[in-house]
Amino acid sequence: MFPRVSFRHSGADSLRLAGILAAAVLAFGMASCGKKGGTPDWDTPGQEAPAAETAAVPAPQPAPPPAPPVAPPPAVTEVTAEPSSEGLRFIAYNVENWLTMDRYVDNKLLKNTPKPEEEKQAVVNMLVANTPDVIGFCEIGEAGDLAEIQSSLKAAGLDLPHSHYIGGSDPVRHLGLLSRFPITSTAKAAETDFQLQGRTFSINRGILDATITARGKPYRFLGVHFKSKRAIEEADQEEMRVHEARLLRRHVDALLQADPEARLVVYGDFNDTRPTKTFKTVTGSYNDPGYLTALPLKDSRGHSWTHHWGLHDIYSRIDFITVSRALRPEVDFRASHIIDMPGWEKASDHRALIAIFN
């Protein structure tokens, strides 16, 4: 508080009092500045904020309870179907040259070389994962090749102890069948030759005919692998397939004439698509009692192709499973499908088909 000053004095006293007053004001101002200086730059390296200027440290809080342990993610395992306890699971599969032949491996021609081990293992993995009761194969080499598949499957946990192996005029590629259940009978088609352009030809890979009885029900399997689309000098390749289809159809008609209730599964690599004469010859007329229903199989994406021709990048449905009218009611159409599990392209240029019967 400033002293009360009276100005009722002489001039000299007035000047002296004015000086005293100015000095007092100056001293007060300097004292005020000493209490609050300018904001220092506390971000300068090596410089600490004084204790009076730091934020108050909150009182320590109790530690939160420990978080519950997090379970590790489940291991990724390949889904494997359970072996069937009723009905029948059938796979039709062209395994692409499970045989010894000249092959190109890494752009090198290798003479008399078996199917690469990586491809074989991919075939085995796919089959074991789908636990079929019966498998119908195309493009098997010798009987020993079918036995190799059989032993490889058994070592991987899929035991199909019963087998059947046949061929036609092609000395290299044959048909084979493996079964969990005993093969009760086999047969041969009455006709296996046809005439074309004045020459006699035999069906290339024959017609596999084997019957099994599974859980009290008979199933008769007819397997084929028709002439490929590769041109030959002797005859038109398309006409050859049509003639082979006629031989198969005559065999089917003979069986159904003898037993109209025959439970037939007619399958294989037709090397032709649905609109062709080959396909229609095999299935017959829809209104005919002997009509064979082609199962409308699709993969997990809704696609229906079964073969990829890599040279021309063409995807086609040329592999089929068909059934007679007596067996059609037992087909599980929703569960039957084209197998497209990862690695299919390592195993073969074809995708396997699986039909499930109740």
pLDDT tens string 108-157: 999 999 999 999 999 999 999 999 999 999 999 999 999 999 999 999 99
Where are the domains positioned within the chain? 88-357
Is residue 150 within 8 A of residue 177, CB to CB? The reply is: no
The proportion of the chain whose per-residue pLDDT surpasses 90, expressed as a percent, equals: 73
Predicted confidence band of residue 81 (pLDDT cuts 50, 70, 90): low
Residue 111 phi, psi (nearest 5) = -80, 145
DSSP 235-260: S-HHHHHHHHHHHHHHHHHHHHHH-T
CATH homologous superfamily for 88-357? Endonuclease/exonuclease/phosphatase (3.60.10.10)
Mean pLDDT, the chain, as a whole number? Answer: 84
Residue 208 phi, psi (nearest 5) = -75, 130
pLDDT tens string 318-355: 999 999 999 999 999 999 999 999 999 999 999 999 99
Tell me which residue of 321, 341, 339, 340 sits closest to 331, measured CA to CA.
321
Residue 145 phi, psi (nearest 5) = -70, -40
What type of residue sits at position 34?
G
Residue 196 phi, psi (nearest 5) = -150, 120
Please tell me the predicted confidence (pLDDT) of residue 82: 57
Please tell me the predicted confidence (pLDDT) of residue 127: 98
